[in-house]
Structures are given as C-alpha cells and as structure tokens.
Structure 1
Amino acid sequence: MNNVGKNIRRLRQKKGWTLVQIAEKVQVSVPAFSKIETGPTDINMSRLKQLADIFGVSILDILYDEGENPQEALHNEAAMLKAKIQEKEETVSNLQRKLIDLYEEVTKK
C-alpha cells in the first residue's frame, strides 16, 4: 500500500495540487489525505476509483509505479497470442485443403 500512497502523491504533485486542494476534491480532511499518501491509511476501491477519476488516470496507474504498466504488457501478450492463433488457423486451413484434395484424388480412381 505504501507504493499506492507514493503514486497518489506523485500524481498530485504532477497536477501541481496542494494537500488542501486534493483533500477538498476528495472531500476528506487534510490529515486524512496525508495518511493516505504516507501509508497508514489503506485505501478502498471506491476511493481508488474516485482518485483515478480526479487525476484522469486508470486505477492501474495508481496501483503500479510509473513506467510499470501491466495493461501494456497484457496487450502485447494478447497481440502475440492472436498472431500465433492466426498462424495455427492458417496451418489447419492448409491441412484441410490438402485433405480435401487427397479425398478427391482417391475418389476419382
């Protein structure tokens, strides 16, 4: 959870907002928001979603460190798997054509 707090602080500072400004946006006290950033207070999903909306980022951008984007890694892996599936489908299609050709050759005799 400490990384989450650090990421929230980084996002707040990136926006140029003070603790007072973000606490008002989130509708909590400044000490309460400070505890979110420093780690003593665990953040729940609804608060996480609220902060993501306020910062204009995804929840994953708050959960993971900057530059560590699991969505991108999953997207790349999905693209690679789709390419492999397409390759296998082409192989199956070619084998089906060969099978049909062999069947027609055998039935002509």
Structure 2
Amino acid sequence: MINQRLISDIGANIKQLRLGKAKGQTEVANALKISVAALSKIENGQTDINLSRLAQIAKYFEVSLSSIISKEGSLSVSQDVVEEIAELKQQLVDKDAEVMKLQKKVIDLYDKLGL
C-alpha cells in the first residue's frame, strides 16, 4: 500500500496541474470520466489512485507520470528565478571572500601591534 504522504503529494500535484491549466474540477472529471467527488478525493489525498488512472491523468495534462508522482514535479520555477538564485549565490561567495580578506587584515594588524 502506498503511504499516505505520497498519496497526498500526488493529489496536490494533480490539483496544481489542474489549476495551472485553469481548468475546473467538473471539466477535468468529465474528461477523465469520473465524478467530481472522485477527483476531489484524489486531489485531497483521501483515496488511493491506481496506475492506470495516473496514466490517464498524465495523458490528459500532457505530462509524464514521474512529474505527477515526484515532489519536484510539483514545483514550477521559472528560469529567471533560477538565474537570480545563482547570481545571489555568487554574490554571497564574493562577500564571503571579502570578509575573509578583512579578517586576515585584522589579524595581521593585531600581530604588528603585538596584541
């Protein structure tokens, strides 16, 4: 049996896919030939979902099965955000190096003063 956390994560990923495509539960449920209540239970992690239903949902949303199952699939980060994070990391490395140089200067000054 699949653990409850995974079922909840899969449901949340499906809900995020649906909302990302600006589709209502009724529209998606009708396309999948299931009730709105059944879709709601899937999205809220209240029911197990079998592999064939997962495949049907992946096909409907035109995504891979793994993107529905994995947590990474639930995160949609734009390239701009990725680039900004990389730039901030580099700035942090640069500032860290600057602090190290200043610490060395302070130590050298203490040595010259004999403290």
Instruction: Using structure 1 for the length normalisation, give the TM-score.
Output: 0.60
Runs (5+) with no aligned partner, structure 2: 1-6, 76-115
- The residue type paired with residue 59 of structure 1 is L
- The residue type paired with residue 14 of structure 2 is I
Instruction: Give, in angstroms, the shift of residue 65 of structure 1.
Output: 1.9
Moved over 4 A (4+): none
Instruction: Give, in angstroms, the shift of residue 66 of structure 1.
Output: 3.5
Runs (5+) with no aligned partner, structure 1: 70-109
Distance in 2 between residues matched to 1:12 and 1:21, nearest whole Å: 10
Instruction: Using structure 2 for the length normalisation, give the TM-score.
Output: 0.57
CA RMSD of aligned residues (A): 1.7
Task: Count the aligned residue pairs.
Answer: 69
Distance in 1 between residues matched to 2:70 and 2:30, nearest whole Å: 25
The worse-fitting range, judged by mean Cα deviation, of 59-68 and 6-15 is 59-68
In structure 2, the residue matched to 1:59 is: 65
Distance in 2 between residues matched to 1:67 and 1:14, nearest whole Å: 13
Query: Quick check: 1:34 aligned with 2:50?
Result: no
Distance in 2 between residues matched to 1:45 and 1:38, nearest whole Å: 17
Distance in 2 between residues matched to 1:58 and 1:67, nearest whole Å: 9
- The residue type paired with residue 17 of structure 1 is K
Change (3 A) 1:60 1:32: same
Query: Quick check: 1:50 aligned with 2:56?
Result: yes
Distance in 1 between residues matched to 2:44 and 2:27, nearest whole Å: 17
